[in-house]
Amino acid sequence: MFLAIDRQMRLETSLLIPSHGDAHSRNLLPSPEGWVWSDFEDLSLMPAYWDLASYVGNLALFNGIQEPTFQYIWSQMNNQADKQAFGFAVTARILMSTLGNLDFAFSGNGDLEFAHKQLELAKDFISRINLIIEGEIAES
């Protein structure tokens, strides 16, 4: 699955947009002017909805698609193309996060228990996202 996602991202480069790359709540800082992003080392061109997928990916992976933030984002998707694009970004982000965390953990620089839990949950979660997009199971 990773190779298929990677290939699609490399072949459809016209669909990539500038993204923070690692958008999650710990990278948002309060300031007198409002919330500001920090930690820009992953800034790059990514698929549409990458930052939303980054923000909600692990929340939904560990808590299921019923997770309130995930459900809110999903409810804001106005059409099938947006749902497919968001589903693709969530799938790619979950795979990247899971494989990256496993790599860090195996090299002694990460949390192996966390990485194993991600791996245990990833296949079923991604399958469920695909079924929702295809309309084969209810969205909530």
| Amino acid 91: pLDDT | 93
Q: Is the dihedral of CA 126, 130, 131, 132 positive or negative?
A: positive
| Amino acid 21: pLDDT | 83
Q: Write out the two tokens for 99.
A: 């494989």
CA distance 102 to 113: 9
Mean pLDDT of 19-34: 88
Average pLDDT, the chain: 89
pLDDT by residue (tens digit) across 68-125? 999 999 999 989 999 999 999 999 999 999 999 999 999 999 999 999 999 999 999 9
